[in-house]
Amino acid sequence: MVEPKRYTPHLLYQRRQKEHLREQWHNFKLVVDWTVWLYLLIPGLLYFIGWYTSLWTKTLPAWTASLPLPLLTGIIELIILTGGVLLFVEEADVLFLKSRTAWMRTLMMRGLWRVTVLQLGKMMLIIALAAPLLVRVYEMSLLQIVLTCIWLGTAASSQVIAIRMLKVRYTGWRRGLLMILLVIAMAWTTVRTSTWMLEGPDTWKIMLSIAAVLLLLMMLIQMSLRMRGTFEGDVREDLRSRLRLTALMLSQAVSKPKAPQTRTIIFRKPRKLFRKRSIPNRTAEIAFKAFFRNSETLKLFLQLGSLSIAAVALPPFPVNVIVCGLLVIMLTVMLYRGWDVLAASEYVQLVTYDSDALHKAGSIMVRMLLLPLAVLMGYVMGLFWLGWLAGFLTAACTAAFGYVVVSAAGWIRQTRA
């Protein structure tokens, strides 16, 4: 007879890890529409490949030459702080595994080494994306880039393990205060050390930093394994980490119920935006305030604005100009659709409007929302393309183009009505 396979803590860890990955994959398939993503992913991937290749083959933008190294490492540090630790410890383990020190120690050791590998892989991806800057701006060799990747991966692992230790040990206001102090200290240390070892850069500095942070990582792992009385905290943080991706996906698919607000954040006082109190001006003023008082439309507007600014800043000329023009047209159409929702609402239907006045109010509202964003897009495009002084000229040109697009779209809508 074949003896049954002996169940070990390693097999338990592998089973829980596979179940977690399977659960995340099922949740991902429920939320994501693969047809839509296929149309978005393929053009986006082709554009990214072309853009990344241009960073190696073409002249870098002017702003990269003056990009301070602490700013680059500070951005990487923000990415590091988004990581977490998953030990695959469950509530039912208190009945059996808590009394089995070897089993619990194995689970925790596997989880800590897993996060080390994941953080190292994340840093490899980030360094690969920043490699054109590291080679062409900071003049780093391939060996120095590899060592920097190891340094950042080890530092990231140390930070997420230290944050995990603090979360499972403390609760309430103490945890919040200590978290703030710990994050500030770790971020300052990482940025200062990275700047010190990459100025030059010197290989011996990078190797010395790797040795120091490796000792710190091993010390933190040993401290995590020896902590006592933190089982409930480990379970709580594991559950929070496992549900993080699911909560993020569901937040995009299911609207979260909100408590009714008695006062709005923006436009609390009934101040007038127009001196001339005509019917189109007053209607456009009401629509403009209602747009910003709605948290959902305000959030969508800020997200689209941020993406639009990034989209006109990254591509080279003349792609950036084409992208800017298309974004202005797209935002105009989107804002006019938002106006249609308000124009068909019960509040507007209570008042008898002249059709010309209603169309004019819609054009005023769209113009008020679009032009500030168009000015900002134009200035950022000019800043990354020609310099800060020429950015004012591109901002004026973009604003003029936005004004023309809004007027033309309003005229087309009025003739079709």
Predicted pLDDT of residue 1: 43
Q: Note the Cα 307 to chain centre separation in Å.
A: 11
Q: Which of 15-24, 195-204, 362-371 has the lowest mean pLDDT?
A: 195-204
Predicted pLDDT of residue 2: 42
Q: What is the mean pLDDT of the chain?
A: 79
CA distance 279 to 402: 24
- Tens-place pLDDT, residues 53-74: 888 888 877 777 777 888 888 8
- Tens-place pLDDT, residues 286-336: 777 777 777 777 777 888 888 888 888 877 777 888 888 888 888 888 888
CA distance 60 to 206: 26
- Tens-place pLDDT, residues 167-213: 888 877 888 888 889 888 888 988 888 888 877 667 888 889 889 99
- Tens-place pLDDT, residues 231-268: 777 778 777 777 766 666 555 555 555 555 545 555 55
Query: 3 Cβ partners below 8 Å, 6+ apart?
Result: none
Predicted pLDDT of residue 215: 93
Q: Note the Cα 232 to chain centre separation in Å.
A: 30
CA distance 44 to 35: 14
What global pTM score does this model have? 0.60
- Give the max Cα distance, the chain: 94
> Per the structure block, which two tokens stand in for 120?
């190292």
- Compare 41 and 319 and report the one with higher pLDDT: 319
> Per the structure block, which two tokens stand in for 69?
């190294």
> Per the structure block, which two tokens stand in for 24?
């995340």
The three-point CA angle 320-324-327 to 5° equals 135
- Compare 3 and 129 and report the one with higher pLDDT: 129
Asked whether 308 and 327 are in contact (CB, 8 A), the reply is yes
Percent of the chain with pLDDT over 90: 5
